[in-house]
Amino acid sequence: MKTKLLLIALCTFCIGFSQVPTGYYNSATGSGYTLKTQLKNIIDSDNDGLSPEFQSTDPGYSGLYTTYVASDSDSYYENNGSVLDMYSENPTGADDYEYTHFTDQDPGTGGTSEGEFYNREHIIPQSVFNQVTPQRSDAHFVVPSDKFVNGARGSFPFGRVETANLTTTNGSKRGNNLNSGYSAGYTATVFEPIDEFKGDIARMHFYFATRYEDDVASYSYSMFNGTSDQVFDQTFLNILITWHNQDPVSTREMDRNNAIFGRQNNRNPFIDHPEYVEMIWSSTIDSEAPSVPTNVMVSNETSNSIDLSWTASTDNIAVTEYDVYVNSVFNKSVSSTTTTVSGLNSETTYAFTVLAKDAAGNESSQSTSVNGTTLVGGTGGTDCATETFSNIGAASSSYAERMWTGDDGGEWTATDARTDQTLTGNAITIRNGELTSSSISGGIGSLTVTTLRAFSGGSGTFNLRVNGTVVGTIPYGDVQETTTINNIDVTGNIIVSFTDKATTSDRVIIDDLSWSCYDPTLGTDDLNLEKLVTVYPNPSSDRSITINTANITGTEINVYDITGKLLFSKKNLLGNTQISDLPQGMLLVEIISSKRSITKKVLIR
């Protein structure tokens, strides 16, 4: 760990500006974009005929290092006068490294790892405004930063990282943007600071949009929309406003504003008056919550999972996702109106509710609760869990720890893994790592998986472990192969893992993983409805389908459209049932027997 501590007395140039000068915001009397222009006149370098008039000055690009002594010294965390860098500061513990003003300044070389030197980070990249002044030397949005992290952030916009491909020592990260919730609408690479400084960075953006209102419409940047009024693309405006609200103005920000005022003769209005953000951009803020999801239904109960479906909510802009709660505890977020809740205990009744969310983070109330009861334990021959790796995230060729929610709702972890290789679809590729499931009920009878060694290398095996005990081996080689291991026969809650790969340098693609439930006390007929019932043709081109319930007596069939509207219902069926004149689109066919129910999706063209 590199620690260099040199206490430097605060410069006298900031003394006397400990608060907003009298009358500074007297001319800020409007609202909306009119207010933004009024603030621009107050903080720019022009003589706008204001009374009083504070024209901004430019201490120069090299002068930033001098400004940082007063504006960005640590008097808040370690309280030792070291450089306060938002990308390395650990607010709750000791920093991994610290910098001394001037002494550790970037010499023009190095910067291949964290903790070497600090330099000047432009929150809005210099390339956006072609390195012109005074933008280039404006300390209100140009901050001290570790040189390596500054380079790693590059010109990427700020956002919410879904899967990180770089994480700094204090938890700032870079990766693809989370395309859901308040950050929905963008999927490319973004940089996300830690929560402690998200509001600081948001208010720096609002300052830039205001101070450089006359120029910003000509700037090409993914966070901007090419206008001088709203300035920000709607996705990034949602992100910045959310961060501004979640991380209010701190003492550190107020002190920084005062110090920069002592050097530049202008202030960040959104630190002095946080309410200006809503006053200016309120017309673009989505404050309307979606409607409450209705017609929540349970179906397809197994020993460890239950399917849910509901009628889509409405919103003034758009619903982006639904949060599913089990017994009032958050379980998962999904973008569709159907899902499977897995990892449940057998012979247990659960209460399910759903709420809707939009891109601005507005939430509906939770739906009316509906109960579902899992069956007794599974049995060999009935699918208990499947994993197609469809949810592993964006394709990435780098090797890292990957975590995702599986097809059945369970959580999966893969170490030293990449996500850009495919077999029958998305797949996970393991190098010198392991693949592990979360705890899933229902036991395990037999397991099937497909493997292929990618690139160069040889053949080998993984150990297949259930609850830590080796129960078989999974081979791999340069030819795609599907392996089934029978008679595993472990009851209760299980954790499945692939470990101990024979050759650590081999890169092995894994896809189409599934296993059967196991409980020797239960017969297969109780849980075999999925295999006995067929619905055909699927898809259907003549608006009709046939449902074959084989020899299962007392079967009930219900057909719903994707909104939950009941289209057909009939009880006590046996054999073939044909249904005609169905509407086009995706339909849900619910088949209910005396033991359980299942739901099948059918496409009507």
pLDDT in tens, 254-288: 999 999 999 999 999 999 999 999 999 976 666 78
- DSSP class of 317: S
pLDDT greater than 90 at residue 40: yes
Per-residue pLDDT of 78-89, as tens digits, reads 999 999 999 999
pLDDT computed for residue 513 by the predictor: 92
Q: Which residue has the higher pLDDT, 114 or 443?
A: 114
Instruction: Work out the pLDDT band at 597, boundaries 50, 70, 90.
Output: low
pLDDT of amino acid 566? 82
* % of the chain at pLDDT higher than 90: 59
Residues of the chain with CATH 2.60.40.10: 294-373
Structure tokens belonging to residue 273: 């008056």
Residue 4 predicted with pLDDT over 70: no
Q: What local confidence, expressed as pLDDT, does residue 47 receive? A: 96
Give mean pLDDT, residues 421-439.
92
Higher-scoring residue by pLDDT: 44, 565: 44
Q: Per-residue pLDDT averaged across 405-425, rounded? A: 87
* pLDDT band at residue 592 using 50, 70 and 90 as cut-offs: confident
Residue type, 448: T
> DSSP states of 347-395 as a string?
T-EEEEEEEEEETT--BPPPPPPEEEE--S---TTSEEEEE--TTS-S-
Tokens of 449: 């998986």
Does 116 have pLDDT greater than 80? yes
Higher pLDDT, 177 or 379: 177
Least trusted range by pLDDT, from 253-257, 380-384, 454-458, 466-470: 380-384
Residues of the chain with CATH 2.60.120.260: 383-516
Looking only at the bridges linking them, the beta strands covering 383-387 and 173-177 are unpaired
At residue 378, does pLDDT exceed 60? Answer: no
Output the pLDDT for position 596: 60
What is d(CA 28, CA 485) in angstroms, rounded to the nearest whole number? 73
Q: What pLDDT shows up at residue 362? A: 85
What DSSP letter does each residue of 85-131 carry, written as one string? -TTT--TTS--S----TTTTB--SS--SSTTS-EEEEESS-GGGTTT
Tell me if 438 sits within 8 A of 415, measured CB to CB: no
**What is the mean pLDDT of the segment spanning 348-377?**
86
Average pLDDT over residues 432-458: 89
Q: Please, where in the chain does CATH 2.60.40.3080 lie?
A: 528-604
Which pLDDT band, with edges at 50, 70 and 90, does 493 fall under?
Answer: confident
Q: What is the pLDDT of residue 463?
A: 94
The pLDDT, as a whole number, for residue 442 is: 74
- Between the CA of residue 139 and those of 60, 101, 143, what are the distances in Å? 10, 16, 6
Q: Decide if pLDDT at 561 tops 80.
A: no
Q: pLDDT value at position 573?
A: 67
pLDDT at 112: 92
pLDDT of residue 519: 63
Query: Cα separation of 137 and 145, whole Å?
Result: 15
Q: Does residue 525 carry a pLDDT above 70?
A: no
Please state, in angstroms and rounded to a whole number, the distance separating the CA atoms of residues 131 and 139. 14
Give the confidence band of 407 by pLDDT, cuts at 50, 70, 90.
confident
* Range 494-499 average pLDDT: 94
Work out the angle at residue 197's Cα, subtended by the Cα atoms of residues 194 and 198, and round it to the nearest 5 degrees.
80
State the pLDDT at residue 553: 62
Which CATH number among 2.60.120.10, 1.10.3720.10, 2.60.120.260, 3.40.50.300 corresponds to the domain 383-516? 2.60.120.260
pLDDT band at residue 6 under the 50/70/90 scheme: very low
If you average pLDDT over every residue of the chain, what do you get? 87
Residues 543-562: what's their mean pLDDT?
Answer: 76
Q: Higher confidence at residue 602 or residue 94?
A: 94
- The C-alpha R_g of the chain, in whole angstroms, comes to 30
Is it the case that residue 14 has pLDDT exceeding 60?
no
Fold category of 528-604 in CATH: Immunoglobulin-like (2.60.40)
What would the mean pLDDT of 185-198 be, rounded to a whole number? Answer: 95
- Entry pTM: 0.55
User: In this prediction, what percent of the chain has a pLDDT beyond 70?
Assistant: 89
pLDDT in the model for residue 17: 41
Whether the Cβ atoms of residue 147 and residue 116 lie closer than 8 Å to each other: yes
Class of domain 294-373: mainly beta
Report the pLDDT value the prediction gives residue 532, as an integer from 0 to 100: 62
Separation CA 213–CA 269 (nearest Å): 14
pLDDT band at 134 (very low <50, low <70, confident <90, very high): very high
pLDDT per position as a tens digit, 199-251: 999 999 999 999 999 999 999 999 999 999 999 999 999 999 999 999 999 99
Q: Which pLDDT belongs to residue 302?
A: 74
Q: Does pLDDT of 483 surpass 70?
A: yes
